């Protein structure tokens, strides 16, 4: 991996654009195209959906239990509890662990809003810890200093498909008696020292949003755990806290996973390993093509990890100009995320300010996601790489 050039210096790229490809007709390269994947599975998906409609078991149908068992096994956990979204998976997990008013949860400021938003919605306080700039995940070496007498949990995020450094995180949690909620929304299928995402902490939260590696036909999510008692409680809480019918020991929510979503996801789950392998192959090609370019820093994968590249995120001090250049040449990109959570207006009450988390702020200023979806062709990847190399040369 090459270091980024200083923002005030000219960047030189050793790996120059391929003249054959660079001189070819400009093409459109979307950030994500879900249509080819659906087209390939259409003859499997439509009968599965039709079977649910014919049964009219639209809530709590058998497909939900089948998906829960299959995803739990895939994640190396004893139980899966399907819910309405990845956000609700985080919220329900917090509720299931009795984490609410007066409690603190340590997490990262460089993540999607739902991570800290779910903590606030539960009534607890998010306590941010800066990230490692190489992996963009929470820095375990900074966590211990953030633990107080009010800390109840750590919520690491496995960002962009790569798991956080879980061994030291689990050691800190054990030392202080804390729960660990893995925000695995972007990382189903990823592994850390051979252990699947979601299986290491107390509970893992998955998302089936359509853009995820295992994406549904709308919102959906799941909690995975090997704690029998917790799994039982989570299953009750997702249905208003009701057990038995119309009797309520706890106040839960309407977090149920629709049967139609479960049937759709059961079809797609069979192909997930193949899709993840294609994403890694696409990432390898990007890494080869961009290796000599000092204008960008490519994603770093820790030796302990097998990533699934939910996103392929490069960094550049000239990010905004590069994004505009790519757009001019038909390449769609996205900024994940343009502002760290500690700088978002809705979290102003937490008392953080610019400069508190410099690595997170640098990532927000420099990160740019390139197309990485499984159906992306080598020709498209070469075109994206050539367009980047041309910009810096």
Transcribe 153-205 into DSSP letters.
EEE-B-GGG----HHHHHHHHHHHT-EEEEE-TT-TT-EETTEETTSSSSEEE
Q: Give the whole-angstrom CA distance, residue 163 versus residue 102.
A: 29
pLDDT tens sequence across 263-287: 999 999 999 999 999 999 999 999 9
Say if CB 63 and CB 52 are below 8 A apart.
yes
Per-residue pLDDT tens for 375-387? 999 999 999 999 9
pLDDT single digits (tens) 164-188? 999 999 999 999 999 999 999 999 9
The reported pLDDT for the residue numbered 15 is 63
Q: Which CATH class is domain 37-269?
A: alpha beta
The rounded distance, in Å, linking the Cα atoms of 391 and 325 is: 7
The CA distance from 215 to 265, in Å, is 7
pLDDT of residue 26: 81
Burial of 361 (0-12, 13-18, 19+ CB in 10 A): buried
pLDDT at 291: 95
pLDDT at 24 over 90: no
CB of 102 closer than 8 Å to CB of 239: no
Domain boundaries, the chain: 19-36+272-392, 37-269
Contact between residue 208 and residue 189 where contact means Cβ atoms under 8 Å apart:
no
The pLDDT tens digits of the residues spanning 216-268 come to: 999 999 999 999 999 999 999 999 999 999 999 999 999 999 999 999 999 99
Give CA 35 to chain center in angstroms.
21
The answer, yes or no, to whether residue 19 has pLDDT greater than 60, is no
Model confidence band, residue 17 (pLDDT cutoffs 50, 70, 90) = low
Residue among 199, 215, 192, 143 at smallest CA distance from 172: 143
**380 Cβ contact partners less than 8 Å away, ≥ 6 residues apart:** 27, 29, 371
Specify the pairing of strand 151-155 against strand 179-183.
parallel
Cα pseudo-dihedral 342, 343, 348, 350, rounded to 10 = 20
- Choice between 47 and 4, residue whose per-residue pLDDT is larger: 47
pLDDT at 5: 36
Task: Give the lowest-confidence range in 16-25, 331-340, 362-371.
Answer: 16-25
Count CB neighbours of 300 within 10 A.
Answer: 14
Mean pLDDT of the residues in the chain: 94
Place of tokens 């000239």: 318
pLDDT digits (tens, 9 = 90+) for 87-124: 999 999 999 999 999 999 999 999 999 999 999 999 99
Q: What are phi and psi of 281, to 5 degrees?
A: -65, -40
pLDDT, residue 322, reads 98
Report the DSSP beta bridge partners of residue 393: none
Tell me how far apart the alpha carbons of residues 133 and 3 are, in angstroms, rounded to a whole number: 12
**Distance between CA 64 and CA 86 in Å, rounded?**
16
Asked if residue 218 lies in contact with residue 262, where contact means CB atoms within 8 angstroms, the answer is: no
Q: Which listed CATH number (3.90.1150.10, 3.40.50.740, 3.40.640.10, 3.40.1350.10) goes with 19-36+272-392? A: 3.90.1150.10
């Amino acid at each position: 991996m090459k270091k980024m050039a200083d923002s005030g210096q000219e960047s030189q790229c050793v790996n120059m654009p391929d003249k054959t490809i660079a001189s070819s007709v400009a093409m459109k390269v979307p950030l994500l195209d879900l249509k080819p994947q659906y087209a390939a599975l259409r003859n499997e998906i439509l009968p599965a959906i039709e079977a649910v409609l014919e049964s009219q078991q639209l809530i709590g149908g058998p497909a939900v239990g089948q998906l829960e068992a299959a995803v739990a096994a895939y994640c190396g956990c004893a139980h899966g509890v399907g819910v309405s979204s990845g956000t609700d998976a985080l919220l329900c997990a917090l509720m299931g662990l009795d984490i609410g008013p007066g409690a603190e949860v340590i997490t990262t400021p460089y993540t999607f809003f739902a991570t800290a938003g779910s903590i606030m919605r539960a009534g607890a306080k998010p306590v941010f810890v800066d990230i490692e700039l190489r992996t963009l995940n929470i820095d375990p070496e900074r966590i211990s200093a953030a633990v107080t007498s009010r800390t109840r949990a750590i919520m690491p995020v496995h960002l962009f498909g790569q798991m956080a450094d879980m061994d030291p995180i689990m050691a800190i949690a054990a030392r202080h008696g804390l729960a660990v909620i893995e925000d695995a929304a972007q990382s189903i299928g990823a592994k850390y020292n051979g252990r699947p995402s979601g299986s290491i902490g107390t509970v893992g939260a998955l998302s089936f949003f359509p853009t995820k590696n295992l994406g549904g036909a709308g919102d959906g999510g799941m909690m995975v755990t090997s704690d029998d008692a917790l799994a039982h409680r989570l299953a009750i809480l997702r249905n208003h806290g009701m057990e038995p019918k119309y009797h309520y020991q706890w106040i839960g929510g309407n977090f149920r996973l629709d049967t139609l979503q479960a049937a759709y996801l059961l079809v797609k789950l069979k192909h997930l390993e193949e899709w993840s392998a294609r994403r890694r192959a696409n990432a390898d090609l990007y890494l080869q093509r961009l290796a000599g370019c000092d204008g960008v820093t490519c994603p770093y994968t820790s030796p302990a990890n097998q990533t699934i590249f939910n996103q392929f995120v490069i960094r550049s001090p000239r990010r905004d100009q590069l994004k505009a250049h790519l757009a001019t040449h038909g390449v769609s990109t996205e900024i994940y995320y343009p502002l760290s959570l500690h700088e978002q207006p809705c979290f102003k009450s937490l008392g953080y300010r610019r400069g508190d988390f410099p690595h997170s702020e640098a990532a927000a200023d420099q990160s740019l996601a390139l197309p990485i979806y499984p159906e992306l062709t080598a020709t498209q990847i070469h075109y994206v790489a050539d367009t980047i190399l041309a910009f810096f040369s």
